[in-house]
Structure 1
Amino acid sequence: MEHYKDFTVDAQRFPHFADFAAEMKAQGIHLVPIIDAGVKIEDGYDVYEEGVKNGYFCTNQDGTPFVAGVWPGRVHFPDMLNPEARAWFGSQYKVLLDQGIEGFWNDMNEPAIFYAEERLKKTFAKIEEYNKQNLDISSFAAFTGMVAELSNNENDYKLFYHNTKQGRMRHDKVHNLFGYNMTRAAGEAFERLEPDKRILMYSRSACIGMHRYGGIWTGDNHSWWSHILLALHMMPSLNMCGFLYEGPDIGGFGSNTTEDLVLRWYGLGIFSPLLRNHSAKGTRRQEPYRFKNKAAFAGILQLRYLLLPYIYSEYMKAALHDGMYCMPLAFAFPEDDFARRVEDEVMIGESLLIAPVYEQNARGRYVYLPEEMLQVRVKYSESNRIETSVLPAGHHYIPVELDEVVFFLRKGHLLPLAKDGKKIQSVADVDFADLRLLAYAPDGASYEYYTDDGETKDYDKPEHFVHITLDADGNAKSDRATVKVEG
């Protein structure tokens, strides 16, 4: 962005942005810019001027455009509940699509309000009064409280209005629909602008139904151990609401993280459809290469690539068949009373149970297995060395070191993995048609494997569904993919 203006490129920093985007793509790096909910108020800025001219912004009670402060300073909010304004805003994404951008991240779209201009003016006037006073404990508390209440003040959401098909609507009555309709604006625009191409889209704010247009990340969390567990809880909850494409800020957004926290968080995050490490300005930097144990971080990210054939297959089958990619144990084992009480383990697809470590200094954790399963221990600091052992149903203490991931494979199930003959640097390096199978199938098993080109929209072609069978002697057959059996 140029000075936080939506749908702009800073010409000084990126004088040849389309060439830069193409160069990054050639290296397996796809750029995903932020689009904020607030449009900067600035003469000469075409998005602002078009919005004012056509009445596309939310208004005050008197019909004048509502002014709030967000990243760029003073902004107007596009009226996302007005169909004409929504179509206009969606059309703006073309500016970046034309320069090679294939993914977007809608942000600040609750919408967040740093301040409402009306409240800010009253605050400044009051500060002038306080400036002439001797601030005692009561007046000082009132002063600091007044400033603290500027951001996201509940009453400010009662100040502006939308023009909807049902008539004029005060924002606080329809607050949860704003982020939904901002991403809807993008999703509907992509169908017009790129009808045959998938465009990545995820949003910070949403409500039920927005999964039709994009996914979400789970908001501005903190570098707290408890937030690993919170991220785990949110995965099946969001799946129940239709949101399959989701994930947290790995390592935590706010606060200062630690190396062990980030490693443990990746132990969960590699199973999320959306995997990203993200942190706030001013916090301790947490990119994996900044830590001492680079081999462990490289290994766990390599494991993510190896798991992608299974993750993508289970994700797409859930999306196409209205299922769940991630579900509580009770959904998979409805007759098991104890499974209903387990809230720190989940099923990933049809084959895997995961039980990540989420407590500081823990060298392992207790795990409940509703049935006999194959324990899979991956030592990712040792080139993803895999050890397996069969565990009976019941309660177990499972040691898990910092450089390990442990998960569990159901009996009679298969786990398709990418081959790891070379270091995988990006998804483009993953061969989805040449697989190895991790199996726990003493009596044989079958698996419906989904794979496509990942770019076009012919999702339900029959040839995308590959049938893999394994007989009791360990011989694998497939109608299309090449498979090698392990385990």
Structure 2
Amino acid sequence: MKFTEGYWLRSERANAIYASQAYIVEKIPNGMRVVAPERVIHSREGALDVATITTEFTSTAENVIGVRSYHYEAYESGEATFKKNTNPQEVTVSIDEDEAVMTAGQLTVRVNRKEWQYQFEVEGKVLTSCGFRNLAYMQYDRKDATRFPEDNYLLADYKPYMLTELVLQPGECVYGLGERFTAFVKNGQVVETWNEDGGTSSQVAYKSIPFYMTSRGYGIFVDHTANVSFEVASEKVEYVGFSVPGEELRYQFIYGENNQEILSRYTALTGKPALPPAWSFGLWLSTSFTTDYDEETTSSFIQGMKERDIPLRVFHFDCFWMKEFHWSDLEWDERIFPDTAAMLKRYKKRGLKISLWINPYIAQGTEFFKEGAAKGYLLKRQDGKGIKQLDSWQPGMGLVDFTNPKAVEWYTNKLRKLLEMGVDCFKTDFGERIPIDVEYFDGSDPVSMHNYYTFLYNQAVFDLLKEVKGEKEAVVFARSATAGSQQFPVHWGGDSSASYASMAETLRGGLSFAMSGFSFWSHDIGGFELTTTADLYKRWVQFGLLSTHSRLHGSKSYRVPWLFDEEASEVLKKFTKLKCQLMPYIYQMAVKARDTGVPVMRPMVLVFDEDPAVKYLDMQYMLGESLLVAPIFQENGEVDYYLPHGKWTHLLSGEIREGGCWYHDQYDYFSLPLYVSPNTLLAVGANKEKPDYDYTSGITFHLYQLADGNKAAAKVPGLKGEIMMISSAERIGNKIILSTSKLAKDMGFVLHDICNLKDIQGASYSVDGDKVKIIPEEKEVIVEI
């Protein structure tokens, strides 16, 4: 939100009160408080008829400092608040005539008392600062008060806003702010964190997250559930400005020695992700949205996948499992599915998990709506005239009030019956266009609930899944999100279109989402709107199966591969089986995401933050810490991609390339740039048919480009996220020491690019070109080269 007209002038609609001097500084529990008048005070007289802005700095957690700036202290906004996991650290505060300094851990905030400025430092390095006219209380659209009773006596009428601006250094890049499909680097953008159903080709977002991080080593979490307006080097090109309506502004300043540490601290504060079940990483097939289907149709799809040897793990029923005009009464349409229980039982015997589409909107005319309205379980009108109803999705629909515990129980009990029938998970669609002229059961401010609604909605469904299916089996497929929603995976990218441009913007949104603290993400393979070409379908399949979660889904047309061409079936089979083989590695990265909050799909800048070449890269990514993926966005199969420094090995071809430079290649549909980073011990499974299996059985550890003095390790998880075995490789001069915590059945090692093998102790082996295949006989194997 802009409050100025160029550098010199304020907007005609804005009256500004700026913090001008750190006049009063005092210690408070766990921090310090600074009172800043709107003008510099030179005498006692100057302390009269002056407004102030008070800022409190407190320790929130390790290397996290909370900042709260306010105008009127006792103002009660009624806004919903994010749940935070705080762990305050010991602080030291020193105050003298010139400055006040507070230190907590490595992080210091220094306040200049002679003029208004505070800055964040680590070991003497200034990360950012807030100075002249950077902290303000804005009175927007002000009508001045008068001294006359008949004309606005002492009643200034305006909309209050709090504004903070933090300086950007030359070359500093800003990332995050949710799943945004605009440019990956957010500099120059105006971002409103207001969730909307906008597709993947606009400036609005399904998942607005008031958190950003920069290339200078810090992150900012603006702790407000309502809309936060960000001016990212836009209103003032030297700053990131953020403003909120009301009398106070709260944010958390998060320092990290690298980008992954910043994300880890942010997710420690707002919630680590749950670990999705391993089966959810397999291939999902959907009915699509408005297509015609019944049991005969869905069974033919499932059989068609089996006949083509394409491993299918989840079958999803979209909206029309319910009757038209009955969404979401959560009742099967018995005209189309007359014996649902038997159908689900047959599908479960085929080894499939079942997903159902739901949303929190209930159409009038259904018994579910009547019951919810009668019991007060739906959002109410503010004028007291009953239930808030809309025609925007279903006729006369009402919205479940998730602030009412009885409403949550009522809604989830309906879902519970579906789970007992054999359903395994739910696609928790919608949750973005939540009206603000409503009344909540708990009295929450409806403007702040617009975004926070999705948190309560997905939390309710996720908690039910944990209760009924077990904590290790809970997974949703959510479209909307806010800060903290990463605790309820998985999320998908919403309504893309069948074009290369939309495929690219989908990836861009996913990378921004990852920089916002979300670890598990998917997208509609082939695009949602329109019908893809066979060419685009096959390219999107590559991208989709090299994402954490992989779903075939569309709008008005089916997404089974043989409807495009037979080669599409072969491409889908290849990459689905490849993903199954990579599951020991992928699930290892998923467990790491659960523990650290570092996402599985990682923008290049999240991994190689010291390489200036990667700051703007948004058409390639790392799948975990060791696999580089560059999807292909051209019909001719050509692709440009960058390899960071070191020797990289193509996973499929074995070709070795030197990093630190760009490459231009052309690929058929059965390959793409998929490179293993140097110093990697990659765990590859023996099962190509499903994603959830005993990863230790028949496992092979592939060693790539281990440099002298380096050590690489692989932790193989079990299906509940526990570590089943650890293997490692260490190179000391001309020796490579292979170690394993367990001699698993049929396990082995493969050493790549070994040209001068001398001897191997503790194992049998064979040589195939520059590959050495090793079957360990002891837990430690010594290789001499």
TM-score for the superposition, normalised by structure 1: 0.78
Is the partner of 1:176 in helix, strand or coil?
A: helix
| Range 366-375 or range 429-438, more displaced | 429-438
Which residue in the other structure is 2:725 paired with?
466
Picking from 384, 395, 399, the partner of 2:662 is 395
Which residue pairs with 2:346 in the alignment?
23
1:441 CA displacement: 3.3
What CA distance in whole angstroms lies between the structure 2 residues aligned with 1:429 and 1:20? Answer: 25
Shift of 1:57: 0.5
For the 8 Å contact 2:696–2:716, the answer to whether it is kept is: no
1:359 partner SS: coil
Find 1:436's aligned residue among 700, 711, 734.
700
Supply the distance in 2 between the matched residues of 1:163 and 1:350 (Cα, whole angstroms): 44
Contact 1:353/1:409 (<8 A) preserved:
yes
User: What SS does structure 2 have at the residue aligned with 1:353?
Assistant: strand
SS at structure 1 position matched to 2:450: coil
Is 1:14 matched with 2:337?
yes
1:75 and 2:397 aligned = yes
Deviations 1:414-465 (A, max 9, x none): 2212226xxx4433567554222332134474323242225xxxx4x4xx25
* Corresponding residue number in structure 2 for 1:169: 445
Deviates more, 1:95-104 or 1:205-214: 205-214
- Find 1:426's aligned residue among 678, 684, 690: 690
Paired residue for 1:2? 322
Instruction: Give the AA of the match of 1:418.
Output: G
Aligned partner of 1:38 in structure 2 is: 361
Q: CA RMSD in A?
A: 2.6
Alignment of 1:279-358 (within 5 A): 279-281=554-556, 283=557, 285-292=558-565, 293=567, 294-358=569-633
Cα contact 1:86–1:181 (8 A) shared by 2: no
Name the residue aligned to 1:259: 534
Residue number in structure 2 paired with 1:105: 427
What's the secondary structure of 2:662's corresponding residue?
A: strand
Greater Cα shift, 330-339 or 30-39: 330-339
**Cross-structure match for 2:380:** 59
Q: Is the 8 A contact 1:446 1:467 kept in 2?
A: no
Q: Report the equivalent of 1:150.
A: none
Tell me if the contact between 2:547 and 2:623 (Cα under 8 Å) persists in the aligned partners.
no
Gaps of 5+ in 1: 113-156, 379-385
> Contact 1:204–1:218 at 8 Å: present in 2 too?
yes
Instruction: Give, in angstroms, the shift of residue 87 of structure 1.
Output: 3.7
Question: CA offsets, 1:201-243, max 9 Å, x none?
Answer: 1211111111212321111111121122222223332223332
Give the direction of change, closer, same or farther, for the CA distance of 1:162–1:274 in structure 2 (3 Å limit). Answer: farther
- Tell whether 2:682 aligns with 1:415: yes
The one-character-per-residue Cα deviations of 1:344-382 (angstroms, maximum 9, x if unpaired) are 222221111222211232x3222221212323153xxxx
Question: 2:627 and 2:596 mapped to 1: Cα distance?
Answer: 19
Instruction: Give the partner amino acid of 1:61.
Output: Q
1:22 counterpart letter in structure 2: K
The one-letter amino acid paired with 2:713 is Y
Cα distance in structure 2, aligned partners of 1:431 and 1:173 = 45
Query: Within the alignment, does 1:370 sit opposite 2:655 as a pair?
Result: no
AA aligned to 1:468 is S
- Give CA-to-partner distance per residue, 1:241-289, whole Å, 9 cap, x none: 33212111111000221111111112222221121111102x4x43212
- Secondary structure of 1:273's counterpart equals coil
Question: For the residues of structure 2 that align with 1:429 and 1:198, how far apart are their CA atoms?
Answer: 15
Q: 1:22, CA displacement in angstroms?
A: 2.9
**Distance of aligned partners of 1:87 and 1:483 in 2 relative to their CA distance in 1, 3 Å threshold:** farther
Q: 1:471 offset after TM fit, Å? A: 4.9
| 1:187-226 alignment, distance < 5 Å | 187-226=462-501
Decide whether the 8 Å contact of 2:580 with 2:685 is kept in 1.
yes
Q: Which residue pairs with 1:271 in the alignment?
A: 546
Letter in 2 for 1:388: E
Q: Give the Cα–Cα distance (whole angstroms) in 1 for the partners of residues 694 and 538 of structure 2.
A: 23
1:300-319 Cα shifts (integer Å, max 9, x gaps) = 22222222221121122111
Cα contact 2:548–2:600 (8 A) shared by 1: no
Cα separation, 2, equivalents of 1:13 and 1:415: 47
Look up the match of 1:138: none
1:412 CA drift (Å): 0.7
Please point out which of 479, 483, 486 is paired with 2:741. Answer: 479
Q: Return the offset for 1:389.
A: 2.1
Q: By how many angstroms is 1:197 displaced?
A: 4.8
- Per-residue deviation, residues 61-87 of structure 1 (Å, max 9, x unmatched): 233112223555332111123344234
The CA distance in 1 between the partners of 2:444 and 2:604, in whole Å, is: 45
Relative distance call for 1:50 and 1:373 in structure 2 (3 A) is: farther
CA contact (8 A) 2:643 2:659 kept: yes
Q: CA offset at residue 486 of structure 1?
A: 5.3
SS in 2 for 1:174: helix
Residues 373/364 of structure 1: CA separation in 2 closer, same or farther (3 Å cut): farther
Structure 1 pair 168–394 and aligned structure 2 pair: CA distance change class (3 A): closer
The answer (yes or no) to whether the contact 1:373–1:408 under 8 Å persists in 2 is no
Using the alignment, how far apart are the partners of 1:21 and 1:265 within structure 2?
29
Alignment of 1:236-247 (within 5 A): 236-247=511-522
Closer, same or farther: CA 310–428 of 1 in aligned 2, 3 Å: closer
Indicate the structure (1 or 2) with the bigger Cα radius of gyration. 2
Match of residue 141 from structure 1: none
Q: Which residue identity is paired with 1:108? A: F
1:186 equivalenced with 2:448 (yes/no): no
> Measured at CA, do residues 476 and 400 of structure 1 come closer, stay the same or move farther in structure 2, by a change above 3 Å?
farther
Q: What is aligned with 1:125?
A: none
**How many positions carry a matched residue from both structures?**
418
Change in Cα spacing, 1:316 to 1:234, as seen in structure 2 (3 Å) is farther
Compared with structure 1, are the counterparts of its residues 430 and 359 closer, same or farther at alpha carbon in structure 2 (3 Å cutoff)?
farther
Aligned to 1:134: none
Following the alignment from structure 1 to structure 2, what is the Cα–Cα distance between the partners of residues 34 and 185?
A: 15
| CA deviation string 1:290-335 (max 9, x = no partner) | 2221322321222222222211211221112222222222232222
Match of 2:717 among 443, 451, 454: 451
CA separation in 2, counterparts of 1:240 and 1:60?
37
Once the two structures are overlaid, the 10-residue window that deviates more, 31-40 or 288-297, is: 288-297
Name the CA distance, whole Å, in 2 between partners of 1:15 and 1:194: 26
Looking at structure 2, the residues matched to 337 and 470 of structure 1 have their Cα atoms a distance apart, in angstroms, of: 30
Q: Is the 8 A contact 2:639 2:664 kept in 1?
A: yes
Report sequence identity in percent: 22
1:197, 1:345 → 2: CA distance?
A: 31
Aligned with 1:92: secondary structure? helix
For 2:560 and 2:524, the matched residues in 1 are separated by: 12
1:375–1:406 contact (8 Å) kept in structure 2: no
Give the helix-richer structure, 1 or 2. Answer: 1
- For the residue of structure 2 that corresponds to 1:31, the secondary structure is strand
The structure with the largest strand share of the pair is 2
Give the Cα–Cα distance (whole angstroms) in 2 for the partners of residues 340 and 483 of structure 1.
Answer: 38
Distance change in 2, residues 1:179/1:347 (3 Å): same
